[in-house]
Amino acid sequence: MKINDVKNVCVVGAGNMGHQIALQCALSGFKTVSTDVVPAVLEKAQKFVEGYLPGRVQKGKMTEEAAKKARSLISFTGDIKEAAKDADIVIEAVLERIDLKRKVFADLDKYAPPAAILATNSSFIVSSRIADATKRPSQICNLHFFNPALVMKLVEVVQGPHTCPTKRRSA
């Protein structure tokens, strides 16, 4: 997959990191679905988006058109299967627990299209501890955003020994 093939993003976990990663993706022009298992978290994430975008327009930091476009590109669902079904890349940002991440990746392996890249935003867990929970280890990597993701411009892309070299070159 080449970078220009990436149109649809799924962000799993809408907590501290996930909700801002999702909005950053939508602001960057990607159709983005944000999902979380806690309905109140998802509601909070949606409210944040609906407050943040008009706020940026009011401050003159963003055009109304750009805000409208970003809002139209981001959606929220509690159903991970639905969230992942069209994803070209999934960014996992759930709690920092290896058992949970492995379970989420095993589920994503079933729900996301076969070509999709599955990335973890983990700060400490390397993707080699997660990759074998899926049948697509060559498409697994770390994609580490910094907090707050809407402000910090740096994203670390970390390959593992399992990450396919061609995918590494074209990611």
First vs last C-alpha separation in the chain: 7
Interface mask (CB under 6 A) for ligand NAD, residues 117-156, using x and -? ----xxx--------------------xx-x---------
Which two three-digit tokens encode residue 40? 């109140």
At its nearest, how many Å lie between ligand NAD and the CB of residue 122? 4
Q: How far is Cα 148 from Cα 146, in angstroms, rounded to an integer?
A: 6
Q: How far is Cα 107 from Cα 99, in angstroms, rounded to an integer?
A: 12
Q: Which residue has the tokens 């159903």?
A: 79
Greatest CA span in the chain, whole angstroms?
A: 47
Interface mask (CB under 6 A) for ligand NAD, residues 79-118, using x and -? -x------------xxxx---x---x--------------
Contact 33, 9 (CB under 8 A): yes
At its nearest, how many Å lie between ligand NAD and the CB of residue 22? 11
Q: Is 18 in the site for ligand NAD (CB under 6 A)?
A: yes
Query: Which residue in 37, 126, 155, 158 binds ligand NAD (CB under 6 A)?
Result: 37
The residue sitting closest to ligand NAD, measured at its beta carbon, is 15
Which residues touch 104 (CB under 8 Å, ≥6 apart)? Answer: 12, 80, 92, 94
Q: Give the interface with ligand NAD as residue ranges (CB under 6 A).
A: 12-18, 35-38, 41, 80, 93-96, 100, 104, 121-123, 144-145, 147
